[in-house]
């Protein structure tokens, strides 16, 4: 018998790629350190290191700082206040 006590934070954001205005979806998986998060993106292959995503009319900006295996990304979030 295996017990699964994992928890998932419901953090799915919908926004726009700053450079093109293309729609993106970001699922936040794990907080790495500070404002850095491991995420899954749709469409992932179009988001490269240095790209910025805009959520909530600019209230949250997510910058891609690393591409991971299996299509994941490390994103650095920029915002004011509490997230």
| Segments making up each domain of the chain, as ranges | 12-79
Condensed to tens digits (0 to 9), the pLDDT of residues 18-47 reads 999 999 999 999 999 999 999 999 998 889
The confidence score (pLDDT) of residue 70 equals 83
Query: What is the CA angle 63-65-69, rounded to 5?
Result: 120
CA distances from 34 to 20, 30, 37 (A): 28, 11, 8
Q: Where are the beta strands (DSSP E) in 1-83?
A: 12-17, 23-33, 36-42, 52-55, 60-67, 73-79
What does the block give as tokens for 45? Answer: 């292959």
Q: Which CATH superfamily is domain 12-79 in?
A: QueA-like (2.40.10.240)
Q: pTM for the full model?
A: 0.82
């Amino acid at each position: 018998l295996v017990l699964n006590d994992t928890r998932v934070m419901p953090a799915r954001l919908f926004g726009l790629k700053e450079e093109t205005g293309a729609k993106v979806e970001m699922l936040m998986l794990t907080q790495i350190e500070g404002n850095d998060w491991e995420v899954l993106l749709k469409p992932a292959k179009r988001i490269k290191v240095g790209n910025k995503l805009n959520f909530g009319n600019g209230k949250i900006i997510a910058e891609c700082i690393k591409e991971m295996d299996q299509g994941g990304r490390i994103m650095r979030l920029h915002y004011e206040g509490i997230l």
